[in-house]
Structures are given as C-alpha cells and as structure tokens.
Amino acid sequence: MALQTDQKGAQCLPNSAESTQFLNYINSCRTQQDTTIATTFLSQSIEKYIGLFDTHRAHYNDLMITADSLNSNIGNSNGLNIEMDTMAKQKAKLKHEIERYRTDSKSSDKTFLEDIYNKTSKKEFAPSLQDLALLLFWFSWLVISITLIVVRWSTGGWKAGLFSAVILLLVTVCVFAILVQVA
C-alpha cells in the first residue's frame, strides 16, 4: 500500500532530503518491536472497535427483542390473565392431590405401626407389591443357593459343598442385615 503524499511541496517528494533522513532514522533507530507495533497498531485498533461495535449491536438487538416481547404482552393482557387463572387452578388441583396423598400415606403408616405395636398379623400373605418382590427375591436366593451347593458338592466333594454353604450363609446374613437397615 503506497502512501498518498502531497506532491506539490519539495519536502514531500520521495527522494528529498527530509524523506531520506526519515528513512535513515527508521532504519537505524527503530527496533523490530517498534516495527511490529507500527504495522499492527491500526489493524488491532480496528478489530477492537469492530468487536465493540458488534457487542453493542448484539446488546441493542436483544433489548429490541425484549421490548417487542413486552409490548406484545402488554397489548394482550387478557390472554395473560386467562393463562394466570389456568395456572392458579392447576396449582390448586396439584396442592389438593398432594394433600390427599399425604393423608393416605399417614393413614397407611399409622395402620402399619399399629399392627406392629399390637402384634396383629394381617391375613394376607404379601399385602403389598414390595412384600411380594421381597418374597420373590428370597425364594430365588434360596433356589440359587441350593443349586450352587449341590453343584459344588457333586463336582468338588463334600468339603467344597460345605465351604460353598458357609460362604452363602455369610452372604445371606449380610444381605439380610442390609435389607433390615434399608427396608
């Protein structure tokens, strides 16, 4: 990129004494860092201001979108009121359901605790789904344990079968203790 200089004055001509002295000064006194700053200063400044402009333009666009949204909502206050009423009704319905479930839960807890304290047993074998699942777990644990003991006994002798039985008994006690703590 060539500089546009004033060609009318003698001091501005490319081969004049002033321009030669200036070039000598630049060649002898300016460091590499000075040259880098001189060549990149303007481009960095322009990029900085372009970035600032883009940031402010994006902020302006966000504000305009928000203002448009607010303007449309203000104009449609009847729709907002209907939406608020619908949400209030839904909130009341959900609060009523939560309260009903809490009451049912407290009732079941009370019945359960009374049965435990009074030592009254229920006639049902597995009164809840959890009881049925626990019953199924213990039955399958028993079947698998017996199968493992028989297989070990038949392949490794009575000592291997006895060892398997002791290990399974210890594991069963640990699982029972965990279930008692959790359930």
Give how many domains the chain has, as a whole number. 3
- The answer to whether the beta carbons of residues 109 and 125 sit under 8 Å apart is no
Distance CA(48)–CA(50), nearest Å, equals: 5
Q: What is the rounded CA–CA span in Å between residue 115 and residue 44?
A: 82
Tell me, what's the pLDDT at 11?
A: 60
> For residue 181, what are the CA distances in angstroms to 2, 129, 177?
87, 19, 6
Residues 128 and 165 both lie in one domain: yes
> In tens digits, what is the pLDDT along the chain, a chain of 183 residues?
455 555 565 566 667 777 777 777 777 777 778 777 777 766 667 777 888 888 899 999 988 988 887 777 676 667 677 888 889 999 999 999 999 988 888 777 776 666 667 766 666 676 677 778 888 999 999 999 999 999 999 998 889 989 999 999 999 999 989 888 876
Residues 142 and 91 in one domain: no
Residue 84 lies in domain: 77-121
Asked if residue 104 belongs to a domain, the reply is yes
Assigned domain for 127 exists: yes
